[in-house]
Structure 1
Amino acid sequence: MTSPKYAFLQAGHYARGWHIVLFSSELAPGEVKRLHYFDREFVAWRGESGQPCILDAYCPHLGANLASDGGRIHGDNIACPFHGWEFNGTGECVAIPYAKKIPERAKHALKGWPVMERNGFIALWYCPDDSAPVDYIPTIDDWGAENWGEWQFQRSRIRAQPCDVIENIVDIAHFPHVHGGNVQSFENRFGDYTVTQISKVKRDPEAGMITPPGLDFDLVDVRNQGAGMDADAWGDATYHGPSIMYYYTESRSPEISFRSWWVNYHTPVNDDEVDLCSAVIMSSLTDEPLPEEFTRLYPVTAHAAFGQDVLIWQDKMYREDPILCDGDGPITKLRRWYEQFYLPVG
């Protein structure tokens, strides 16, 4: 059997970098959460200081899951519910209630993972070779500002590979078939840790469109209503690393003018599944507040936009050596950029 063309297609191989695992609102002080990503079990908790921590889930003593029975938090540490062994946020065993001495092997027997809390989300630095984290995730200055509100997010576990998801950032040709719009302008820019899409896409009733199941509104009707608006809109989408995308958009029209941040991420669960999530905050571009119906519907349509792609991803196969044409966008360049997160450091 020949090896795959790209390192990111190797089984059990996951991207080095920051991966979002929770939103801050999902982990209250004193709360413990079970997580399953990268085909392994984690335990996450927030102690008295408010700092989130993530460790491998299984106690190095006799293998209990530290999240069993809701977990046991002591200050900023977590204690095993089986025998009370206590660990700090780096995975060091700091107390055994019935022992006079902590065994030397126990001091660093549990793996702690670097954690970043920023912009209202919690991200884990995944790296199989334990290289130092790189701080390439920017701050969203509008997060937490007045009139922006909280993240409205939707997460789903889907059958897809991360490489399926990230190629959307350069795929110009799918817009009029999947998302119901015609591309007016489209540009990709590549940086060391970033790839950006700057685009204008006009909603078009004549364009093709996928309608995800289970929506409580008519997505085609929403698209067609928007197509009739005289809107000046643009968007700037950037992947920061292998799995976290920021999208900033502004839209001005006689009916409504607004700006919005999206945080879209895909975190690998195993070789066959990812957790796909879209989160939205928005604000008016005028002194008038946004209509209540709009603030309710806009995040839902944002989540539905990913749902359109999911219907393709869940049934497709990944072509290592695709037949491409001159209108496809820089798919091969994107793959070479993405490969860096799977190759050894140095």
Structure 2
Amino acid sequence: MTILSYEILLTLAVFILYFLYYRKFKFFTIVEKLEQHNIRNKLPRGKCPPSYPNGWYRLCRSGELKSGEVKEIKLCGRHIAYYRGTDKTVYAVAAYCPHMGANLGIGGQVKFRSCIECPFHGWAFDGKSGLCVNSDKLDPKVVSTYCYPDIERVTKNQKGEYLQKISEGEVKIKTYLVKELKGIVYIWLHSQESKPWYDLVSEQSDHLSLRAESVNYVNCHIQEIPENGADMKHFDYVHYSAMDIIPSWLVQLRWEMRTKNAKDPDFLEKMTHPVEKCRTYQKSIFDQYLANKELIPYLNVLLLDGYVILFNKYKFHAVWATGFQMGPATVALYVKSAIFEVLFKQAIQPVEKFTQKVYHTVFTNNYLPYWISAYLLHAELRQVIFDVKLWNAKIFSETLRYNMKNHADQALLNWRQWYSQFYEGSAEFEKGLDVLEW
């Protein structure tokens, strides 16, 4: 009986420990706490491009938005309410109700499957059309629109009215195009309301599971962060250490890197990996991304070979990586080794002019233990933190001095030329951010 009791207790203890392990590591998150008194974004940054380039941006992770749930976000100078209708589709609309200005994302509720109801007076807006509707038949509400002739001075018009009628008819709010791909929801934001120039790739990654995610707050211009991927030389100075706790005389990292815009005529010639096993894996990924012809002008690609150096003497090829930067704020980085495969997705959310929220989402092989995917996130995050320390304290280089005999500087120049296409109309948009228009 005593032995049986020990067996039961041991089994129960093992079950409880595994349950705690599973709950902790099945989806592992690291979220940096935002410092409430953070004044780093007040530092002078120099003359900069506009803060909100045009493109696809991460809105949220699919699992963060349940059916019937409503949230709000400040993103790229816009206040946006987003929600998952009871039809399971995600919608995003301008946050402020045109009736009395309430924020639909704070206290709003899903109505009529695809609509959001204002928490102030119950006006409902269809997430597809933006129309204010009366019922589940989506019949539009007809309203009268009034405005102040001069709201800043509150003057009368010629009829002696402080508020004058300007129209009568249907009313609608702005809607945003939203797409949900592989567990992440994206939103298209363009300063001139242009339709998407390109679509993000829905990668063939069913063999990889969503395992972990980190969130960092970074104080710098948005361009500083993706530019890091094109900066070959900084790897030798910033990312040579494997871990803070391991001395560099014992273990070092060395990186060999190439980067190129996918539309360059010599792209495949310059970017094809010389090692056959790497080349085979690389081709399977290239086939997915280069098949999207509309994406190619807005796609920058990097190849990264990682080497581990022991005792400053023995060099081992540990991993090879292929990264795809799609537009101004989205990166998919495939990392392959002899025993595992990892997909890191980086996404930048511009919260304010010099405040960025940076996500790194990890997908790994199903067979990897959960603690390994958590460790991989930690290892990747260590390298990110090295960069963050520099980003938080630097200015934006307006006048650029390049050594054009150096391939690394040539790549930086080419990258800035490529990235500049995302700023079309952004300066004019930012000048009008203080004006609310319905």
Which bracket does the TM-score occupy, shorter chain normalised? 0.7 to 0.9
Counterpart of 2:134 in structure 1 is 95
Whether 1:193 and 2:193 are equivalent positions in the alignment is no
Once the two structures are TM-superposed, the CA of residue 183 in structure 1 deviates from its matched residue by 2.5
Once the two structures are TM-superposed, the CA of residue 173 in structure 1 deviates from its matched residue by 0.7
Counterpart of 2:330 in structure 1 is 244
Partner Cα separation in structure 1 for residue 140 and residue 196 of structure 2: 36
Relative to structure 1, the CA distance from residue 63 to residue 179 in structure 2 (aligned partners, 3 Å threshold; closer, same or farther) is same
Counterpart of 2:34 in structure 1 is none
Relative to structure 1, the CA distance from residue 185 to residue 168 in structure 2 (aligned partners, 3 Å threshold; closer, same or farther) is closer
Counterpart of 2:156 in structure 1 is none
Partner Cα separation in structure 2 for residue 270 and residue 206 of structure 1: 45
Relative to structure 1, the CA distance from residue 243 to residue 292 in structure 2 (aligned partners, 3 Å threshold; closer, same or farther) is closer
Whether 1:152 and 2:212 are equivalent positions in the alignment is yes
Normalized per residue, the structure richer in helix is: 2
Equivalent position to 1:278, from 345, 348, 360: 360
Whether 1:33 and 2:71 are equivalent positions in the alignment is yes
Partner Cα separation in structure 2 for residue 198 and residue 334 of structure 1: 14
Q: Which runs of 5+ in 1 are unaligned?
A: 208-226
Partner Cα separation in structure 2 for residue 46 and residue 322 of structure 1: 45
Q: Which amino acid aligns with 1:188?
A: K
Once the two structures are TM-superposed, the CA of residue 293 in structure 1 deviates from its matched residue by 3.3
Counterpart of 1:319 in structure 2 is 397
**What's the secondary structure of 2:375's corresponding residue?**
helix
**What's the secondary structure of 1:139's corresponding residue?**
coil
Counterpart of 1:297 in structure 2 is 375
Q: Which runs of 5+ in 2 are unaligned?
A: 1-44, 146-168, 241-252, 264-296, 427-438
> Quick one: percent identity of the two aligned structures?
24
The number of residue pairs the alignment matches comes to: 307
CA deviation string 1:256-298 (max 9, x = no partner): x1011111011212211111110111117xxxx3244322211
Counterpart of 2:424 in structure 1 is 343
Q: Decide whether the 8 Å contact of 1:95 with 1:102 is kept in 2.
A: no
Partner Cα separation in structure 2 for residue 232 and residue 47 of structure 1: 45
Counterpart of 1:269 in structure 2 is 351
**What's the secondary structure of 1:29's corresponding residue?**
coil
Once the two structures are TM-superposed, the CA of residue 151 in structure 1 deviates from its matched residue by 4.5
Q: Which amino acid aligns with 1:174?
A: H
Q: Which amino acid aligns with 1:193?
A: Y
Counterpart of 2:186 in structure 1 is 123
Please tell me the root mean square deviation across aligned C-alpha atoms, in Å.
2.8
Relative to structure 1, the CA distance from residue 166 to residue 185 in structure 2 (aligned partners, 3 Å threshold; closer, same or farther) is closer
Q: Decide whether the 8 Å contact of 2:330 with 2:346 is kept in 1.
A: yes
Larger radius of gyration: 2
**What's the secondary structure of 1:9's corresponding residue?**
coil
More RCO (CA 8 Å, sep 6+): 2
Partner Cα separation in structure 1 for residue 425 and residue 77 of structure 2: 20
Once the two structures are TM-superposed, the CA of residue 189 in structure 1 deviates from its matched residue by 3.6
Counterpart of 1:9 in structure 2 is 49
Matches of residues 95-244 of structure 1 in structure 2 within 5 Å? 95=134, 101-103=141-143, 107-142=170-205, 145-146=206-207, 148-180=208-240, 181-191=253-263, 192-204=297-309, 230-244=316-330
